[in-house]
Amino acid sequence: MSTSNKREVVVRPVHRDEPDLHKLAEAMIRLVLEESGRTRVIRRAAQPPTTLRLPQPRTSGSDFPGIAS
């Protein structure tokens, strides 16, 4: 009992247009800007605001300097 299995391999060329390098570059620039913006937001969220004043220890009974209690 002899069975012969013949397999055919067919190769078809696929013709594609050349990649649009302008669109590819634009997409890459957008991704980089998006990522840098995201990391900037994360970095700034971790920093205290520049207008934040740390609490100063009280030396007198008055809440306002220059006003006697």
Structure confidence by residue, pLDDT tens digits, 15-63: 888 989 999 999 999 999 999 888 888 888 888 777 767 777 777 655 5
pLDDT of residue 65: 58
Structure tokens of 7?
A: 């397999």
pLDDT of residue 6: 83
- Look up the pTM and report it: 0.41
Whether 2 has a pLDDT exceeding 90, the answer reads no
